[in-house]
Structure 1
Amino acid sequence: MGNKRLMLGNEAVARGAYEAGATVAVAYPGTPSTEITEFVATYDDIYAQWSPNEKVALEVGIGSSVSGARTMVAMKHVGVNVAADPLFTVAYTGVNGGLVILVADDPGMHSSQNEQDSRYYARSAHIPMLEPSDSHEAKEFVKEAFDMSEKYDTPVFVRLTTRISHSQSIVEIHDRKDVPLKPYHKDFKKNVMMPAMARVRHVVVEKRMHQMAEDANHCAVNTVEMGDTSIGVITSGVPYQYVKEVLPGASVLKLGMVHPLPKQLIEDFAKKVDQLYIVEELEPIFEEQIKSWGIDVLGKEILTVQGEYSANLLEERIAKNSLGLDTPKQLPVRPPVMCPGCPHRGVYYILHKLKKHATGDIGCYTLGALPPLEGIDTCVCMGASVSMLHGIEKARGKEFIKDWVGIIGDSTFVHSGITGLVDIVYNKGISTVIILDNSTTGMTGHQDNPATGRTLKGEATHVLNLVDLAMSIGITNVRVVNPFKPEEVELAVKEETAKEEPSVIIASAPCELLDRKTKRIPYRIDLDTCKNCGMCMRIGCPAISKQDNKMFINDTLCSGCGLCAKICKFGAIVKEAQ
């Protein structure tokens, strides 16, 4: 019996990797998966690193696995898109040391641009997938995944969702298992996926999945809880917790292995209940497959493919008729905003002032799309701002693109913006790209990246110089500006967008939440001088509001960045007295 602790799901995953004897952990930060690798980094027995993007992270992980080490790679759901190229092929090569891929989906899109369901990747890539329903299972399923990976010679997915990643429950702690590195043996027929070898390995993959589907009927992670047989529910992950809360007496088949599905187990369960429901967040993956076997179920006819499930939803859709429950009330939504003192705000203010359009990117700076700044026109995926900007230029011409810029953060630029910039230079573009360099990966909680000079373990390392990088690929117009100096930013944007050459503007200032060097003195409104024009409201700072028809700065929110003072034409915004 081990010690018990309250743990986040992400922390429990890290503990599972530790107890399983993992040697290497690799990731690119992405909410809701970020903390997994941060927690792993606290274990000295595991080498942990941030990679520039998820494709690189998975390739590092594959190399580690091939060499004989138990390895974990973590990412959020859209990160799997980036890693998909090596992902589909490593299913063919198989593993040496166990390879576990943690993917955290985001139903409800708390911090994501879509709600894709990673179970589709498991099916399409022919990779088994486990899904825990609490922190205890998160730890244990990771350990099971490593064993399964080595037993079946395959990478194994472990799927989390935001609620599992960021919820806490009791976890029993055990000692680390001593797992020596497996011997490495050169085997080009297994590890070199040229067409002739890949055809043979594809047959191996199909046989493996058939065997795993048979074994899933007896797998310990799939559990049956028989109760009232008038209602049966097939579910997995966090929806299992909602089912147990709303329908505590129902019979439940909880699927810990969500791919491949245990056909015989499901058929036997279905025969024992009168009405069978499928409760699964997002896509009807269980439902479609189970219906294809001729089993009558209710699922998306009464539930939804959108957003997170909840106990209230199940009460309304399943239990309402028998329990006479009312429809739950919706809580008001609070839209996110950039922090007071955010260095990105000044750039967006100038772009709005100059009536410039901008292709945007993934990061906390994406919030600049919202009023009153309305600083970006598009946001698709990481790195897309640079490539889409070039596409607009080639479709509409040089004069049209002079009213556009691309916006990308420093970490996102390293992730997948560099190749787009190379494309602009190579194909004779003239676009202007603005790199918002706040010296961190801000959107996921201030992780380091190759441009910060620190590794995940906090060790000093080489700093990627963005100016030198831009110039090395052929950008001759590179300038660094202070985003808290509006005149400097405005001049740079005007001059660079007017040129018929590619340009890079680097707006460099540290994230306000990390800047401990600058003494912050809040500002206030001098009501005798203020003309009540509302100009200060145009920067969208949460510290500035209108109260009793007068402009007001909340000194508990004000960071003292001074941007509002610089744009006030009447000098009505002054520093608080010392």
Structure 2
Amino acid sequence: MSDKVLMLGNEAFARGAYEAGCKVSAAYPGTPSTEISEAIVKYDGIYSEWSPNEKVALEVAIGASISGVRALASMKHVGLNVAADPLFTASYTGVNGGLVVIVADDPGLYSSQNEQDTRAIARAAKIPVLEPADSQEAKEFVKFAFELSEKYDTPVIVRSTTRLSHSQGLVELNERLDIEDKPYVRDIAKYVMMPGNAKQRHLVVESRELALIKDSCDFPINKVEYKDSKIGVITSGIPYQYVKEALPEASVLKLGIVNPLPRKLIEEFASRVETLYIIEELDPVIEEQVKSWGINAIGKDILTVQGEYSANMLRRAIKGENISLLPAAELPNRPPILCPGCPHRSVYSVLKKLKIHGAGDIGCYTLGAVAPLGVVDTTICMGASISSLHGMEKAKGKEYIKNWVAVIGDSTFLHTGINSLINMVYNKSTGTVLILDNSTTGMTGHQDHAATGKTLKGEDTYAVDLEALCKAVGVPNVYVVDAFDINLLEKTVKEAVASDELAVIIAKAPCALLDKSPVTKQYTVNQENCKKCGQCMKPGCPAITKTENSEIVINDTMCNGCGLCESLCKFNAICSIKVR
């Protein structure tokens, strides 16, 4: 097979796993890595799943590897934090079948709460990192990563970024390799990381690191392009594309492996150029090591440690070119907002009316922090809403949190919220937790999870009962409320926060984008009854606008009939109309 097809970087990663003979794939959805699993599930021969979180996903892949098959775990950069515990120990145990972890970083913070650099974690864990620069390399590097994993008895990280994961490129397809399962041989000293065994395995890790430093100088994924010797550039990944565009005359060392660094290859390249630049997005991981070897190089002293790079940025920084851009029309800012009919808007409207602060979490509901809702005060990481509320109570007392709630989604609750809730029960908290149950993992594109009743493959499965789960861990007061029943929701929230007992309120309503049932009714404004009080506009529904003559109107192309506006109108000015 030698067909060429256009693929996203994430699709190419999936294809690489398929062609490499991978048999098990586990992940938790997280932009920009989500599409890897959504592409893998289409290939026969690979078992693929959504795991509750990244730690579980990596442990699933580790177990598959130990049993003797090639296995993959994929996640975004902050997901690697969740998976760090098994990752660092898997570096010591090594593998049986090849074990690859694809991690997608997010320079530019398109969909993340920080810009951390995966290479720094990999250096600490002493795990090799490969970094492709286009879709074709994305596929091939995954295949090469499995080979390295088995040859050097180590997990291997393949690092992506948003730009690579979501860019398209031509990919040449090949047949799937027929990889025989490796026999499992019981080896307590290798796989049981009690201190005595771990001390010996640490020696293996250090020896492996030295071997990789030496051997990687000859890896085919590194490429040297000698041109003008006046300027030399060391780079990797997507920045290589910017270097080729901005500095076509320069000599370039494109590193395919970025941890550990192929020292002799770098030293030889540096000796053959007059001025050496190191161009890497985010942290100076390569630069700091190269300079520590006594090599003069220019890097972050002229380039930023923040965000994405571009060809124009390099032209300005290195060539001193004043890049003139064509004047662009002034466009209004489009802040992110909840969709029309989103059940989170209804919940936040109630919280705002009650002047309640929200300890927030990661997901669509984070948008409750922005105007006009403005009820989410904190967002830290997955599951932190519940834990941080508990911390507030223990710091300031139960009276302090009478006007606070923790807000978390159903998928995030299953990700890391459960342990936090157990902690509240165990340590006698009295706070109120709102689980915004829209029956999906919304922000990453509507992936299933353990409470939706569907697997990644679309198969029916047991759906975790969130109400029963909360009761089972000991929550004394658990309420299930329709998210759009704002009167009952308001009553329930007021009772829960006033109580001296822990409470969980599950506000249920499907995601407006996920609900495929036909719209049977919409709403319109009776201008004669409308007092132009603006109550219906307070939740910020994009379907409701005010005209130049101050009339309130509802856009029928956006209204999906959720009824929130009608419930807020005290003058019967908003009426429902049937839709065929």
Q: Which residue of 2 aligns with 1:552?
A: 553
Residue number in structure 1 paired with 2:566: 565
Displacement of 1:324 after TM fit? 4.3
Q: Compute the displacement of 1:62 (Å).
A: 0.6
Partner AA of 1:326 in structure 2: S
Query: Within 5 A, what are the aligned runs for 1:379-458?
Result: 379-458=379-458
CA distance in 2, matches of 1:193, 1:521: 61
Q: CA deviation at 1:150?
A: 0.2
SS in 2 for 1:97: coil
TM-score computed with the length of structure 2 as normaliser: 0.97
**Hey, what does 1:80 align to over in structure 2?**
80
Counterpart in 2 of 1:253?
253
Asked if 1:116 corresponds to 2:110, the answer is no
Match of 1:190 in 2: 190
Q: 1:244 to 1:516 in 2, by over 3 A?
A: same
1:24 aligns with 2:4: no
Distance in 2, matches of 1:301 and 1:492, equals 56
CA distance in 2: counterparts of 1:84 and 1:300, whole angstroms = 28
Q: Are the equivalent residues in 1 in contact too, given 2:520–2:578 (CA < 8 A)?
A: no
Residues 425-574 of structure 1 aligned to structure 2 (within 5 Å): 425-548=425-548, 549-574=550-575
Give deviations 1:71-127, integer Å, cap 9, x for gaps.
000010000100111100000000000000000001111110000000001100000
514-523 or 531-540: which moved more?
Answer: 514-523
Greater Cα offset, 333-342 or 498-507:
333-342
SS of the equivalent of 2:497 reads: helix
Q: Paired residue for 1:325?
A: 323
Aligned runs of 1:54-73 on 2, under 5 Å? 54-73=54-73
Q: 1:577 to 1:39 in 2, by over 3 A?
A: closer
Matched-pair contact (CA < 8 Å) for 1:520–1:561: no
Cα deviations across residues 408-460 of structure 1 (Å, max 9, x unaligned)?
00000000001111111111111110000000111111010000011111111
Contact 1:316 1:327 in 2 (8 A): no
SS in 2 for 1:120: helix
User: How far off its partner does 1:329 sit?
Assistant: 7.6
Distance 1:317 1:393 in 2: 50
SS in 1 for 2:450: coil
**Match of residue 314 from structure 2:** 314
Contact 2:519 2:560 in 1 (8 A): no
SS of 2:443 mapped into structure 1 = helix
For the residue of structure 2 that corresponds to 1:158, the secondary structure is strand
Partner letter of residue 538 of structure 2? R
Aligned mates of 1:329, 1:317 — CA distance in 2: 22
Equivalent position of 2:44 in the other structure: 44
Deviation at 1:528, TM superposition (A): 2.1
1:230-270 per-residue CA deviation (whole Å, 9 max, x = no partner) reads 22111111111111111112111111101011111111111
Aligned to 1:339: 339
Q: Distance in 2 between matches of 1:48 and 1:218?
A: 34
Q: Displacement, 1:325?
A: 2.8
C-alpha distance in structure 2 between counterparts of 1:102 and 1:453, whole Å: 27
3-state SS in 1 of match to 2:18: helix
2:543 and 2:555 in contact (8 A); partners too: yes
Structure 2 residue aligned with 1:281 = 281
Instruction: Tell me by how many angstroms 1:470 deviates.
Output: 0.6
**Superposed displacement of residue 128, structure 1:** 0.2
Scaled by the length of structure 1, the TM-score of the pair is: 0.98
- For 2:462, what is the secondary structure of its paired residue? coil
> In the comparison of the two structures, how many residue pairs are matched?
576
Q: Distance in 2 between matches of 1:201 and 1:430?
A: 46
Alpha carbons 1:136, 1:169 under 8 Å: kept? yes
Tell me if structure 1 keeps the 8 A contact 2:448–2:454: yes
Distance 1:518 1:480, change over 3 A: farther
Query: Is 1:174 equivalent to 2:177 in the alignment?
Result: no
State the distance in 2 between where 1:168 and 1:334 align. 26
Following TM superposition, by how much is the alpha carbon of 1:577 offset from its aligned partner in structure 2, in angstroms? 6.1
The percent of aligned pairs where both chains have the same amino acid is 61
Query: 1:238 corresponds to which residue?
Result: 238
Alignment of 1:90-169 (within 5 A): 90-169=90-169
Question: Deviation of residue 337 (structure 1)?
Answer: 1.1
Distance (whole Å) between structure 2 residues aligned to residue 328 and residue 195 of structure 1: 63
Instruction: Please give the per-residue CA displacement for 1:277-324, whole angstroms capped at 9, x wherever unaligned.
Output: 1111111111111111111111111110111111222222223x2x44
Amino acid at match of 2:557: T
2-structure distance, mates of 1:118, 1:560: 44
CA contact (8 A) 1:101 1:157 kept: yes
Q: Does structure 2 retain, via aligned residues, the 8 Å contact 1:67–1:97?
A: yes
Residue identity opposite 2:181 in structure 1 = L
Matches of 1:486 and 1:374 in 2, distance apart?
18
Gaps of 5+ in 1: none
Q: Distance in 2 between matches of 1:231 and 1:576?
A: 69
CA drift of 1:504 comes to 0.5
Post-superposition offset of 1:568: 1.4
Cα distance in 1 between the residues matched to 2:29 and 2:490:
33
d(CA) in 2 for partners of 1:83, 1:339 = 32
Aligned-pair CA distance for 1:550: 2.5
Contact 1:97/1:150 (CA < 8 Å) preserved in 2? yes
Residue pairs, 1:364-379, within 5 angstroms: 364-379=364-379
- The answer for unaligned runs of 5 or more in structure 2 is none
In structure 1, what residue type is equivalent to 2:569?
C
Distance 2:521 2:240 in 1: 50
Name the aligned partner's letter for residue 479 of structure 2. Answer: R
Deviates more, 1:214-223 or 1:143-152: 214-223
| RMSD between aligned residues | 1.4
Q: 1:518 to 1:402 in 2, by over 3 A?
A: farther
Deviation of 1:158 after TM superposition, in Å, equals 0.2
Note if contact 1:434-1:504 (Cα within 8 Å) is conserved in structure 2: yes
